[in-house]
Amino acid sequence: MGALNMGLSEEELKPLVAAWRIANPNIVRLWWDVDSSVKEAVKERTKTETHRIRFEYRSGMLLIWLPSGRQLTYVKPRMGINSFGSESVTYEGIGTTKKWERIESYGPKFVENIVQAISRDILCFAMQNLDKAGYKIVMHIHDEAVLEVPLEVSLQDICTLMGKTPPWAEGLLLRADGYECNFYKKD
């Protein structure tokens, strides 16, 4: 995440990583629960589930079913040995060479994909709410929607719409912030 470019050495990173993992045991547990579920689905060519996320091996694909019902698809998954000598899941995809190649993955990387996909689903739900309310969405960037609205429109009303929890994410607390300007800029 850029620490080496900022002048930190590999040796300085190890205690920082260890401290972060100790402070965030639920995230670390999620990583390895997902890792186990993915491995079982690929090895046994079956369905598994953990933390309301379903995993399925079907027709040469690993499917990860998100809480929204949408799925992530990994092509031709199989078991392999990673660069650390441990068992891991690999799949075919576009790699760093911009060509199809076998890509190595593991629990934390799958969780990163899952979190990004769920974030996308939440933004899409918010954008649907904005559209139904008649707001003109000009563009969206990561976790923000850019609207073109008359001056009298309430920013709070827009934030309330964007902060609604999707039905498939019951219990998730959301809140949106915003700002007004005459041209697009990063806040």
Distance CA 45, CA 59 (A): 9
Mean predicted lDDT score pLDDT of the chain: 93
pLDDT for 131: 96
CA angle 69, 42, 21 (to 5 degrees): 75
Q: Quick check: pTM over 0.85?
A: yes
Q: Please count the CA atoms within 13 angstroms of the CA of 51 that sit on its side-chain side.
A: 18
pLDDT of residue 143: 87
